[in-house]
Structure 1
């Protein structure tokens, strides 16, 4: 099905992406649109020749294109991607086996559509093309029984926020932080006082369902994520002691006093990034730090990698833990991920956490490379309720201390 919008000399058709005929045009739109412009510096994203790569690993996905149809040659002027999945949106009240209060809380699942990769050529903006693309995507979400639609954008992307909050009735929902750490030319030391375990996917799945099942945005198909070839492993750290864990039940029955867990996702296989618009002085300072590091590597100077040419990165997800040394264990795991990224030829390691994430102090990052406020907006796709209070309406819920960021949506 197509949706057509008329302009002065041409029409714009919104339709599903067709790889054979649309690939070149869709790539051109992505290439001409920078991501998160801020203060003259922009982040260019190269999808490595696969316009579907950011949604292809999701259980249900769709890509739309907006195409001009007029006297001149047809041209793709806008693209949009979306996916639908089942996620946690809250938890039930704690109850025991008799139905009285006092037992453990269980997760509340919902189907949600996620909007990402909205791009419109600069020459065709302010014409309602983005609005048409999003409305068509919302129709697809509804046809797949999605109850909510949500999206994420940088707080400085005023045009995107205005489109979703003013014209599409989305509301600002959560403001997580994107934390980015550069990958240095030398490995970071890992202390012998901490034990590092690589968990089998089945163990990791059970642990995550135990730890995060009631955390917002936790994907019900976590097993598919952990078994995806892009997931490079799940790692658990705890202070070294003689106990060797053989199963999740064994771990939960005799847990160490402190421990932490995280998984590593290979985003560099999907896309590459590049910083543009950076002042020559800052580029020179970064180059100098690398030059000095090469001359005196034994000093382990924290040099700035070359982020002004295409680079890849690893994404850390499923960060959690317990105990008084949990932050220290998270820091150990982040160091291990840094060394993995170094061996994989990446230049950054990144993660995204809730604004009040309790373990954030254990995550090393550089403030100048990070985004302190990533705005997530949400919309309820069910019937309109006006001012009536809706029981169970996720859009009106109080944020928790943590969120689970799906690496497939990064």
Structure 2
């Protein structure tokens, strides 16, 4: 095998070669439906919006008159997130207030988009790319690194857990809902308020700051051009449906039940395509669309054209409280469905913790969803920003996680 050199991605000369490798690589276990990703001409777009990011490529060494060939790539980013909580000191400065939960943060790195050309697999190239990326993580002060993969992707799981020292950490669920030809009918008993970015930030920092993986730079996410808005569902008869006093006042006296989420436009970053479907499955999907066009009054749940490139919206920051919060979340997901329909998306997707209480209110198709995604994590050093947490890799999962839309 020719020597392989790992270097930083050069947009001026590497984009076409990287795209070719992406086209040869499918995401998904062998023998099943797989997803093909098209990054719309910008291979680094999936990490570009992160606070710190890097893309590396693996290139065979040039020999004689032959130029080197790019045979693999990896992307990584670094940010500061919540990794646990601690109690405030009760009675500090003479205060009689009870202790409250305070977020403990850490500098976290994330690996995504590891690809190796099929003709160069099982040669140690993936391991070489991961180790080089981890060097950059350490140099930039990351305390932990994590990655996500399909639970049954044995090659990826073995690479990270057996060769790179990662441990299995969390198993969230990816929930995917098709975008149908019919609009979701919103309940008149629920009012939906679109928050300003300032109010959305205030609400998330007060309500979600102690949620695992909550990003400290939430303001950058909410003010990004890909963010389509943050929406709050409240009872239609509540005061807040008529007059909005601001996020701080809302959280001081919230209604009995409410829910919130934000929408991220992945359609302008990359498209997906489902491959590997049998002729029978393709025919059945087409039949549902034909039947829906012929009998529109029946409002049949037809399968959108996901066997060609399609865009999607990602729902993040899901939260809420109260006995009817799942019902309010369903209304917000309906609004998101209608937004996706207007923008020509094929599906709406989100990712939530396996024990997320609001999961009951998130409509999805089991055949398109992933019940257990696998997140693996690695601890780089013994030094911590706060000794109250200890080793995050050994902490039990909470009810919720905050999934960063920049990394989905």
Give the shorter-chain TM-score range.
Answer: over 0.9
Match of 2:392 in 1: 394
Aligned with 1:84: secondary structure? strand
Greater CA drift, 97-106 or 118-127: 97-106
Q: Distance in 1 between matches of 2:169 and 2:97?
A: 29
Match of 1:16 in 2: 8
Match of 1:139 in 2: 135
**C-alpha displacement of 1:383:** 4.8
**C-alpha displacement of 1:154:** 0.4
Query: What are the equivalent positions in structure 2 for 1:177-326 lying under 5 Å apart?
Result: 177-243=173-239, 244-326=243-325
Q: Distance in 2 between matches of 1:93 and 1:390?
A: 9
Are 2:91 and 2:98, in contact at CA under 8 Å, matched by a contact in 1?
Answer: no
Aligned with 2:224: secondary structure? coil
Are 2:60 and 2:69, in contact at CA under 8 Å, matched by a contact in 1?
Answer: yes
Are 1:59 and 1:84, in contact at CA under 8 Å, matched by a contact in 2?
Answer: yes
Match of 1:4 in 2: none
**C-alpha displacement of 1:279:** 1.2
Aligned with 2:115: secondary structure? strand
Q: Is 1:63 matched with 2:55? A: yes
Q: Distance in 2 between matches of 1:115 and 1:249?
A: 35
Deviations 1:345-385 (A, max 9, x none): 0010000000100110000000000001100000001159x
**C-alpha displacement of 1:178:** 0.2
The runs of at least 4 consecutive aligned structure 1 residues that moved more than 6 Å come to none
Task: Give the total of aligned pairs.
Answer: 399
**C-alpha displacement of 1:98:** 2.7
Q: Cα 1:102–1:242, aligned 2, differ >3 Å: closer, same or farther? A: closer
Are 1:231 and 1:264, in contact at CA under 8 Å, matched by a contact in 2?
Answer: yes
Are 1:194 and 1:237, in contact at CA under 8 Å, matched by a contact in 2?
Answer: yes
Are 1:13 and 1:66, in contact at CA under 8 Å, matched by a contact in 2?
Answer: yes
RMSD: 1.7
Q: Distance in 1 between matches of 2:330 and 2:110?
A: 30
Q: Is 1:96 matched with 2:90? A: yes
Deviations 1:99-153 (A, max 9, x none): 9994101000100110000000000000000001000100100111000000000
Q: Distance in 2 between matches of 1:213 and 1:391?
A: 16
**C-alpha displacement of 1:248:** 1.8
Q: Distance in 2 between matches of 1:121 and 1:351?
A: 29
Aligned with 1:338: secondary structure? helix
Aligned with 1:359: secondary structure? helix
Q: Distance in 1 between matches of 2:329 and 2:271?
A: 26
Q: Distance in 2 between matches of 1:239 and 1:40?
A: 43
Are 1:95 and 1:105, in contact at CA under 8 Å, matched by a contact in 2?
Answer: no
Are 1:94 and 1:101, in contact at CA under 8 Å, matched by a contact in 2?
Answer: no
Q: Distance in 2 between matches of 1:377 and 1:250?
A: 39
Aligned with 1:245: secondary structure? coil
Are 2:238 and 2:255, in contact at CA under 8 Å, matched by a contact in 1?
Answer: no
Match of 2:367 in 1: 368
Q: Is 1:79 matched with 2:73? A: yes
Deviations 1:151-199 (A, max 9, x none): 0000111100000000001000000000000000111101111101000
Match of 2:151 in 1: 155
- TM-score, normalising length from structure 1? 0.95
Aligned with 1:208: secondary structure? helix
**C-alpha displacement of 1:249:** 2.6
Greater CA drift, 361-370 or 374-383: 374-383
Are 2:86 and 2:388, in contact at CA under 8 Å, matched by a contact in 1?
Answer: no
Q: Is 1:32 matched with 2:20? A: no
**C-alpha displacement of 1:97:** 3.4
Are 1:272 and 1:310, in contact at CA under 8 Å, matched by a contact in 2?
Answer: yes
Q: Distance in 1 between matches of 2:238 and 2:62?
A: 73
**C-alpha displacement of 1:245:** 2.0
Are 2:170 and 2:397, in contact at CA under 8 Å, matched by a contact in 1?
Answer: yes
Are 1:95 and 1:101, in contact at CA under 8 Å, matched by a contact in 2?
Answer: no
Q: Distance in 1 between matches of 2:73 and 2:289?
A: 38
Query: What are the equivalent positions in structure 2 for 1:45-60 lying under 5 Å apart?
Result: 45-60=37-52
Are 1:36 and 1:153, in contact at CA under 8 Å, matched by a contact in 2?
Answer: no
5+ long unaligned stretches in structure 2: none
